[in-house]
C-alpha cells in the first residue's frame, strides 16, 4: 500500500511537470505566431529581420546560433531603452558628463545616437556601420535620422578609426557596439585595435564598450583592455547577459565624483528608463576574471571559437 502511494505521488508529479511543459510550449508558440515580420532581407553581411509583437519592434540578425535582437523599440514609448545594455552605455556620461564629439561603432536601429543627439544637441555624432542595409532599415523602421550634427559612415569601424588617428582626429565619447549577430568582430577585440581607439580619444575622453558578461572570451577581453588602458570600470546588471567596459586614458573618477556627476543626469535620462543614480555603486574596478589569460592580438583573436 505504501509502495502504491509512492507511485501515485510520483505519477502526479510527473503529470504536473508534463502539463507545465506543454503550457510553456504553447505560450512560446503563441508568442512566435503573434510576431509579425515587417521586413526581411539578405544583405552582404547577414540575414536581417524586423519583427513586431505586442507593440515591440525589433531588429534581428540571423547567425549561427539563431536570431539575435540588435535593437528593440517600444512603439508606445519610442524613447525608452528596452535593453539593459543600452541603459548601461549611458554610464559613460558619469565619466564625461558633457561630450562634444561622439563616435559610435555599430548602428543597430539607431536608438543610441538618437538619444545622445537629443541629450546633447550641439555635439557632433558620427556613426560607423559597415552594412548599408542596416542603415536603410534603421531609417525606415526605427525613425533614425541624420542631420548636420548626426552623420553615418558606411565603413568598417577599424578602418575609419585607423584613418582618424592618422589624421589627428579626436573624440571625447566613443562607443563600441558592433556585433555580427554572433559576437563582436574579432578584429575589433584586439590590443592593436584598442591602441588605435586610444589614439583618437581626447585626454578627458571616455571609451564605452558593450560586450558579454559570460563567455570564454571574458577573461581574454578583460586582460586586453587592461593591457591598453590599465584599470577600467566593469558594469553589470542583473537580468542582463551584457557588461559594459568604461575606460579612459587618465585615472578614473572615484565613487564620490561619479555620484556628483549622476545628479544632473537623473531627470534628463528618466524618459529613457535609465536609473543613472544606481550606476556608481555597480561600477567596480576589481578584476573578476582569470588574470593569466592571453591578451587578444591581431595574431590571436579566436572570437568564433571562444565567444560562446
Q: For each of the chain's 308 residues, which pLDDT tens digit applies?
A: 444 444 444 444 444 444 334 334 444 444 444 679 999 999 999 899 999 999 999 999 875 444 456 789 999 999 999 999 999 999 999 999 999 999 999 999 999 999 999 999 999 999 999 999 999 999 999 999 999 999 999 999 999 999 999 999 999 999 999 987 678 899 999 999 999 999 999 999 999 999 988 888 899 999 999 999 999 999 998 878 889 999 999 999 999 999 999 999 999 999 999 999 999 999 999 999 999 999 999 999 887 665 55
**Nearest alpha carbon to residue 144 among 94, 179, 109:** 109
Spell out where 117-170 has E strands. Answer: 124-129, 150-154
Residue 301, pLDDT score = 82
pTM of the model: 0.86
- Could you give the residue numbers annotated as active site? 177
Residue 218's Cα: distance from chain center in Å? 15
Query: Can you give the residue ranges of every domain in the chain?
Result: 36-74, 84-297
As a whole number of angstroms, the distance between CA 190 and CA 297 comes to 4
Residue 65, pLDDT score = 42
**Nearest alpha carbon to residue 192 among 275, 281, 48, 296:** 296
CATH of domain 84-297: 3.40.50.150
Burial of residue 109, with CB atoms counted within 10 A of its CB: 0-12 exposed, 13-18 middle, 19 or more buried: buried
Amino acid at each position: 500500500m505504501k509502495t502504491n502511494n509512492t507511485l501515485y505521488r510520483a505519477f502526479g508529479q510527473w503529470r504536473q511537470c508534463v502539463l507545465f511543459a506543454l503550457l510553456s510550449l504553447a505560450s512560446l508558440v503563441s508568442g512566435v505566431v503573434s510576431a509579425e515580420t515587417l521586413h526581411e532581407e539578405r544583405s552582404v553581411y547577414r540575414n536581417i529581420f524586423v519583427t513586431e509583437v505586442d507593440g515591440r519592434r525589433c531588429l534581428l540578425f540571423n547567425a549561427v546560433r539563431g536570431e539575435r535582437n540588435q535593437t528593440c523599440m517600444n512603439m508606445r514609448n519610442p524613447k525608452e531603452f528596452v535593453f539593459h545594455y543600452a541603459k548601461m552605455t549611458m554610464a559613460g556620461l558619469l565619466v564625461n558628463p558633457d561630450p562634444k564629439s561622439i563616435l559610435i561603432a555599430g548602428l543597430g536601429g539607431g536608438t543610441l545616437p538618437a538619444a545622445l543627439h537629443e541629450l546633447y544637441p550641439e555635439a557632433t555624432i558620427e556613426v560607423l556601420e559597415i552594412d548599408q542595409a542596416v542603415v536603410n532599415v534603421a531609417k525606415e523602421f526605427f525613425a533614425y535620422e541624420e542631420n548636420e550634427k548626426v552623420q553615418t559612415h558606411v565603413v568598417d569601424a577599424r578602418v575609419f578609426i585607423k584613418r582618424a588617428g592618422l589624421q589627428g582626429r579626436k573624440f571625447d565619447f566613443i562607443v563600441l557596439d558592433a556585433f555580427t549577430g554572433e559576437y563582436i568582430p574579432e578584429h575589433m577585440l584586439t590590443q592593436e585595435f584598442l591602441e588605435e581607439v586610444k589614439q583618437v580619444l581626447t585626454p578627458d575622453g571616455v571609451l564605452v564598450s558593450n560586450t558579454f558578461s559570460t563567455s570564454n572570451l571574458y577573461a581574454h577581453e578583460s586582460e586586453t583592455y587592461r593591457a591598453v588602458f590599465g584599470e577600467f570600470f566593469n558594469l553589470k546588471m542583473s537580468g542582463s547577459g551584457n557588461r559594459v567596459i568604461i575606460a579612459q586614458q587618465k585615472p578614473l573618477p572615484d565613487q564620490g565624483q561619479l555620484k556628483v556627476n549622476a545628479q544632473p543626469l537623473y531627470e534628463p535620462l528618466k524618459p529613457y528608463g535609465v536609473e543613472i543614480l544606481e550606476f556608481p555603486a555597480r561600477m567596480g574596478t576589481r578584476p573578476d576574471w582569470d588574470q593569466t589569460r592571453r591578451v587578444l592580438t591581431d595574431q590571436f583573436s579566436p572570437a568564433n571559437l571562444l565567444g560562446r
